[in-house]
Amino acid sequence: MDGFKLSLLSFLPFVFVLAIAVEATGDEIGTFIVHVQPQESHVAATADDRKEWYKTFLPEDGRLVHAYHHVASGFAARLTRQELDVVSAMPGFVSAVPDQTHTLQTTHTPQFLGLSAPPPPQGKRWSSSSHGGSGAGAGVIVGVIDTGVFPDHPSFSDAGMPPPPAKWKGHCDFNGGSVCNSKLIGARTFIANATNSSSSYGERLPPVDDVGHGTHTASTAAGAAVPGAHVLGQGLGVAAGIAPHAHVAVYKVCPNESCAISDILAGVDAAIADGCDVISISIGGPSVPFHENPVAVGTFGAMEKGVFVSMAAGNAGPNVSSVINDAPWMLTVAASTMDRSIRTTVRLGNGLYFDGESLYQPNDSPSTFYPLVYAGASGKPSAEFCGNGSLDGFDVRGKIVVCEFGGGPNITRIIKGAVVQSAGGAGMILPNHFPEGYTTLAEAHVLPASHVDYVAGLAIKAYINSTANPVAQILPRGTVLGTTPAPAMAFFSSRGPSVQNPGILKPDITGPGVNVLAAWPFQVGPSSAQVYPGPTFNIISGTSMSTPHLSGVAAFIKSRHPHWSPAAIKSAIMTTADITDRSGNPILDEQRAPANFFATGAGHVNPEKAADPGLVYDIAPCDYVGYLCGLYTSQEVSVIARRPVNCSAVAAIPEHQLNYPSISVKFPRAWNSSEPVLVRRTAKNVGEVPSEYYAAVDMLDTTVTVRVFPRTLRFTGVNQEKDFTVVVWPGQGGARVVQGAVRWVSETHTVRSPVSVTFA
């Protein structure tokens, strides 16, 4: 049963693809995720009871693929359509969705998975010492749902780590457990045998990372500090996770770039049961209603158990409403740049210079001018993309070739370089198209190369047109720190507003996701590259990379505040985020225009401030039920809540009334403009006592008026709660989207909630 596809969300080789759904014929067997609910007479207390009960829905032994405990009231099973019809007529059946899997459409080899730039411990901001010192993440377990792990990397050394906390119940499936230690405390595989109905999965497959993605994300979240980290000599520094004292548990659910949802759920189920505090998921599929999205259902279960879930916002930006993983119980993470460039500079024969990026900078890079040629000049259709075969019969020997960005998932940027090289080219210049703007990626190309921005690309192409014998050179410049603007939004980072719940502002937050250096199982770059001794790292990009940064921040907060709920941790992260870049200017997008909240969410994460937010907006698990009843039918809500819910007996609330740390209000076109919307919030004091906060409103656009009542909140106790109301009056005409903020300001804290007002 082929369905939609899910992919890992690292930007390159992991292209986000939607497969065509294939309608199965009646007797074709496929995997379905089936939601069931007990009849009153039936109570399944233990996991074994549940499994037996689930089996009563199935025609024969061997059909059950995964029996879920925490992530669904239900199971994954292999069934024909006809058999599913029988199951759906049984008492207790609620709904079923076909399993969705995901296939990467690239022809990469592991070497080609090496993407671009510098390591997380870069600069001061992301070094372990700057956000928590010796205690960063201590006592907290981060579960990473991904491609497995390369356990022998020093990023998973347990030097100085205490043993896992007593609550840990997980397992290590490497060689009888000998490879796990007090850092990497668990590692298991949850990949069902897709074509074998005997469902022999799990124990027998060690959770080895054959891809690199899982090793990279796990070490980004909680890797140990490794000095002298670099990739092909670039990005040299100390590589360390954001919460270097946290424990890591790895759940391998993807054999390659394809991850079955049924397996993802099994991994999340185990992570909850094992005692993980934070779950990091750099995987995503298309946006669908939450009750039809098993991962949304499963993470709801995690949230109910107090487990924080951080998920990738997607790599389909800059398109509007491309954000995925957008349920309010998830932290939805966007991606932005850091202040580091792995620079190669293009010098043209007319004296102009343009800075670009490439990870591979051989010492013998061309230092003289070479003839410069535009690949599209060959006249072949789509030759400008330098796909395999496109340069056949076009003489590029000894020349630097300009290859356009893009051209489809099979023409990765590294393949373009390989095509140029095999045609005898001396180098490659890779200019952005307009949508990619100023975002450039430092990747492990196989020849001297430079990925340049759109504006540079226009100038380079104009120069080629302007002269009979254009020439250029590519100068290796090495790793440059302190580049500006930073952070800036990456073009690929998916944008809001959320299709599924426009009344919740998504994404929530942005973190480093461009050219991120972290552990990798093997050396990257061309096979001719110098072999470096020591541990291997790679630099890659995507919301896959920003997500584990935020998982690490959540672990860091959780270790300081063990009793905070997932919603309180999210509130702390969002209300303390930076809305300016390191130069003090508004955070810019890939076009160097001020980025709106649909790109940045609440802003760029500030880990130090997030640990001491002053106030939090908390949400109890039951509060989400009223919110869900505002969106869906009782049966749909029952799937998500994993128990019968009667929405007629629940106080349903509109989306904007959920006690979320940001505010999103949508006015219908025909709204009576003298009628305001009242948004209620409850702030909980987690800072000093007594304390007094004053309301401030930042709305630059006068088409919307925002007021806060009362204007002062006085707290006399820890965890004391105070209600307030934000009144939003729409104005006449004007902008379609107006964005600003409500801030509660005390002597020591500023608690900022972004406010986004849209007009249909």
Ligand X SMILES: *[C@@H]1O[C@H](CO)[C@@H](O)[C@H](O)[C@H]1NC(C)=O
Q: Which residues are known to be catalytic?
A: 146, 213, 544
- Binding ligand X by CB under 6 A: which of 458, 481, 652, 745? 458
Q: Is 105 in the site for ligand X (CB under 6 A)?
A: yes
For residue 434, give the amino acid letter: F
Contact status: 408 vs ligand X (CB under 6 A): yes
**Phi, psi of 648, deg, nearest 5:** -70, -20
User: Could you give the string, one character per residue 595-624, with x where binding to ligand X holds by CB under 6 A and - elsewhere?
Assistant: ------------------------------
- Considering beta carbons, is residue 142 or 647 the nearer one to ligand X? 647
**Contact call for residue 583 and ligand X (CB under 6 A):** no
Between CA 35 and CA 75 the distance in angstroms is 7
CB of 253 to ligand X, least distance (A): 11
Site string for ligand X, 186-205 (x = CB under 6 A): -------xxxx-x-x-----
- Sole binder of ligand X in the list 410, 483, 606, 682 (CB under 6 A): 410
Residue from 648, 669, 702, 736 binding ligand X (CB under 6 A): 648
| Bridge partner residues of 372 (DSSP) | 400
Distance of closest approach, residue 76 Cβ to ligand X, in angstroms: 15
Contact 374, 402 (CB under 8 A): yes
Residue 527 interacts with ligand X (CB under 6 A)?
no
Among 160-168, 364-372, 417-425, 471-479, the segment contacting ligand X (CB under 6 A): 417-425
Question: What minimum distance in Å lies between the beta carbon of 331 and ligand X?
Answer: 22
**Running DSSP on this structure, what letter comes out for residue 687?**
S
Please name the residue that has the structure tokens 């373009």.
416
Q: What type of residue sits at position 28?
A: E
For the CA atoms of 312, 318, 319, 324, what is the dihedral angle to 10 degrees? 10
DSSP letters, 418-436, are HHHHHTT-SEEEEE--GGG
| Dihedral over Cα of 240, 241, 243, 246: its sign | negative
Q: Which of 145, 224, 415, 516 binds ligand X (CB under 6 A)?
A: 415
- Residue 462 lies near ligand X (rule: CB under 6 A): yes
- Decide: helix, strand or coil at residue 245: coil
* Minimum gap (Å) between residue 648 Cβ and ligand X: 4
Among candidates 625, 630, 678, which has minimal Cα distance to 655?
630
- Per-residue x/- marks for ligand X, 675-714, CB under 6 A? x---------------------------------------
Identify the residue among 72, 221, 402, 418 touching ligand X (CB under 6 A): 418
Question: Which token pair is 168?
Answer: 């840990």
Q: Does 422 bind ligand X (CB under 6 A)?
A: yes
With beta carbons less than 8 A apart as the criterion, state whether 448 and 365 touch. Answer: yes
Which of 79, 229, 419, 616 contacts ligand X by CB under 6 A? 419
What is the Cα Rg of the chain in Å?
Answer: 26
Residue 107 Cβ vs ligand X, minimum distance, rounded to whole Å: 6
Query: What are the beta bridge partners of residue 33?
Result: 76, 97
DSSP state letters, 102-150: --------GGGG------TT-TTTTSGGGGTGGGTTTT-EEEEEES-B-
Q: Taking the complex as a whole, how short is the minimal distance between the CB of residue 678 and ligand X, in angstroms?
A: 14
**Cβ of residue 49: shortest distance to ligand X, in angstroms?**
25
Tokens of 233: 């000599």
Query: Which position among 88, 129, 321, 388 is part of the footprint of ligand X (CB under 6 A)?
Result: 388
Stretch binding ligand X (CB under 6 A), from 23-31, 101-109, 467-475, 555-563: 101-109
Query: Considering only 230-238, 351-359, 457-465, 598-606, which stretch makes contact with ligand X by CB under 6 A?
Result: 457-465
Find the shortest distance in angstroms from Cβ 423 to ligand X.
9
List the one residue from 240, 302, 316, 488 that touches ligand X (CB under 6 A).
316
The residues, ordered by sequence, that sit 6+ positions from 698 with a Cβ below 8 Å of its Cβ are 740, 741, 742, 743
What percent helix, strand, coil does the chain show, rounded to 5?
A: 20, 25, 50
One residue of 64, 77, 104, 640 binding ligand X per CB under 6 A: 104
- Based on CB atoms, which residue is closest to ligand X, 319 or 350? 319
Compute the least distance from the CB of residue 445 to ligand X, in Å.
12
CB of 219 to ligand X, least distance (A): 23
Looking at 127, 258, 345, 565, which residue binds ligand X (CB under 6 A)?
258
Query: CA-CA distance, 722 to 746, in Å (whole number)?
Result: 15
Crossing angle between the packed helical segments 213-222 and 543-560, to the nearest 10 degrees: 30
If the CB atoms of residues 211 and 248 are measured against ligand X, the closer one turns out to be 211
- Alpha-carbon distance 45 to 240, whole Å? 42
State which residue, 25 or 648, has the beta carbon closest to ligand X: 648
> Which amino acid appears at position 87 of this protein?
V
Closest by CA to 760, choosing from 681, 626, 669, is 669
In whole angstroms, give the CA distance from residue 737 to residue 701: 10
Instruction: Pick one of 175, 256, 530, 725: the residue that binds ligand X (CB under 6 A).
Output: 256
Interface segment toward ligand X; rule CB under 6 A; list 98-106, 236-244, 581-589, 709-717: 98-106
Q: Which is nearer to ligand X, 585 or 673 (CB)?
A: 673
Question: How far is the C-alpha of 612 from the C-alpha of 64, rounded, in Å?
Answer: 46
Q: Which residues contact 247 (CB under 8 A, 6 or more apart)?
A: 140, 141, 142, 161, 164, 165, 168, 182, 183, 184, 185, 222
Task: Determine which residue in the list 46, 363, 672, 702 makes contact with ligand X, applying CB under 6 A.
Answer: 672
Contacts to ligand X by CB under 6 A = 103-105, 107, 193-196, 198, 200, 255-258, 316, 319, 388, 408, 410, 415, 418-419, 422, 458, 461-462, 465, 646, 648-649, 672, 674-675
